[in-house]
Amino acid sequence: MNKFLIVGIGNIGKEYLETRHNVGFEALDSICEEFKTSFETKKLGDIAKINYKGKSLVFLKPSTYVNLSGKSVRYWMNKEKIIRKNLLIITDDLNLDFGVIRIKEKGSDRGHNGLKNINELLQTNKYNRLRFGIGRDFLKDKQSDYVLSQWSQKEKSELIDYKPLFNQIVRSYVIEGIGPTMNKFNKKWKQLMELTALRWTHPPF
């Protein structure tokens, strides 16, 4: 059975709930809720597993904190024998406006310490990633405070509409592959998100 590792980047602990840096955790929580599965605490992270249309999906929320995400990713790739092309990282991105979605097969860390650590430990930047824009609405030298602060009320309400879209993207990636998924969502994410919010209560799995 073809196996995939879907990783949401974030920090563990109640003090980090609903913070911008934890959008990867929120995305995985939403996806696993739709699949009616739950996480169990394991070595270096919380893990959930499902089978979907002949594919085995392993969801990982690293417990290493953002800056050491690569340690958890590398461990679970090796343990589950998952090849790099079947790895998807979901993370925040300061360099994108809030709500902008970008899916890529490779790229730099763009100043994100979690991606930097993954690049270092996997010894490559050629792996799939879904970047969610959180914007740069902070004063000079306040970047750390910004990413570790909670969403504004406006952002929090808008984020609800994105959660079904995360589900669609992961499902498309697993079944159709990264190329078709990029083509489908990178240019049309906004229209698809609006349609999702209007027409879907729960995505059809």
* Closest residue by Cα to residue 155 from 18, 10, 13, 12: 18
Separation CA 11–CA 69 (nearest Å): 9
DSSP string over 170-197:
HHHHHHH-HHHHHHHHTTTHHHHHHHHH
8 Å CB contact between 27 and 99 = no
Largest CA distance in the chain: 49
202 classed as catalytic = no
To 5 degrees, how large is the angle CA 118–CA 124–CA 129? Answer: 60
To 5 degrees, how large is the angle CA 127–CA 19–CA 109? Answer: 25
Other C-beta atoms closer than 10 Å to the C-beta of 161 total: 14
| From 7, 10, 21, 26, the catalytic residue | 21
Residues annotated as catalytic (active site), given as ranges: 21
